[in-house]
Structure 1
Amino acid sequence: MSTSPAPKPAVVEEAYTILMQLGGKEFLTMTGADKLMAAGRTESNPYPWLRMDLRENQAQINRLKITLMPTDTYRMEFYRQVLVDWSPVISHEQTFERVYGDDLRELFTSVTGYETYMPRIIIGE
């Protein structure tokens, strides 16, 4: 009796697609982004999203949420969230609508100042 692998939940596939649009492991390595959290499509949440924490940067933001919109573009929400008396306080908000997948990395760099591509070393020609 053979067993096939369990199907991946949609939330994993959609979040993975968003992360791959950013550059995947290369993006995470270059930017130091961590604590990824995702939500897939449900009746109460029709738009899948990926959220991550960011390290200190020029925009003074510490969080990014990327949402896949019905137009097959993304909404990028950069913001700073801190806890004050156990309540979240949000500031430094910057939201960009209708961002194409090919533009995610460039927009991330323009807001945070972090490069998302690893340098390539070419030896000899």
Structure 2
Amino acid sequence: MSEEKAPIVVVEEAYTILQHLGGRGFLAMTGAYNLFAAGRSASNPLPWLRMDLQRNEAGVNRLKITVSATDNYLMEFYHQELVNLEPVITNKQVFEEIGVENLAQTFREVTGYETRMPRIIRID
């Protein structure tokens, strides 16, 4: 009997955040994985996107990007691990009121990873 896969639910705001970072190219270049999101609702007025990160120069393994009330972004980089089945967060770096144009730049500065696929052009 075949195994049923869990459905993939796209949260529009989280998809927009990912597109601002560079979309699929961002995921390919950075190796970010386990994307988890929450959309805007009565109990959650600020949508967010969280992802796990590969090893990087900052020593962080998670990033949470929240859309602020002013339509800018709050970026929280941190290292999370389980100690005695309790989550322990260390090395937290928070950047507030980041504009769309600075999302990828802030990510590059913290992690050292390029976020965009290189464009290869042909010169005759």
TM-score, normalised relative to structure 1: 0.89
Letter in 1 for 2:113: Y
Q: Percent identical across equivalent pairs?
A: 60
Moved over 4 A (4+): none
Q: 2:74 maps to which residue?
A: 75
Q: 2:42 maps to which residue?
A: 43
In structure 2, how many angstroms separate the alpha carbons of the residues matched to 1:78 and 1:124?
40
**Structure 1 residues 52-76: Cα deviation after superposition (integer angstroms, max 9, x where no partner):** 0000000000000000011010000
Give the CA deviation at 1:38: 0.3
Q: 1:3 maps to which residue?
A: none
Q: 2:120 maps to which residue?
A: 121
**Structure 1 residues 49-104: Cα deviation after superposition (integer angstroms, max 9, x where no partner):** 00000000000000000000110100000000000111100000000000001110
Report the count of equivalent residues. Answer: 116
In structure 1, how many angstroms separate the alpha carbons of the residues matched to 2:100 and 2:122?
32
RMSD: 1.2
Q: 1:21 maps to which residue?
A: 20
Give the CA deviation at 1:42: 1.7
Please list every run of 5 or more consecutive structure 1 residues that lacks an aligned counterpart in the other structure.
1-8
Give the CA deviation at 1:118: 1.1
Superposition map of 1:53-64 within 5 A: 53-64=52-63
Please list every run of 5 or more consecutive structure 2 residues that lacks an aligned counterpart in the other structure.
1-8
Q: 1:107 maps to which residue?
A: 106
TM-score, normalised relative to structure 2: 0.90
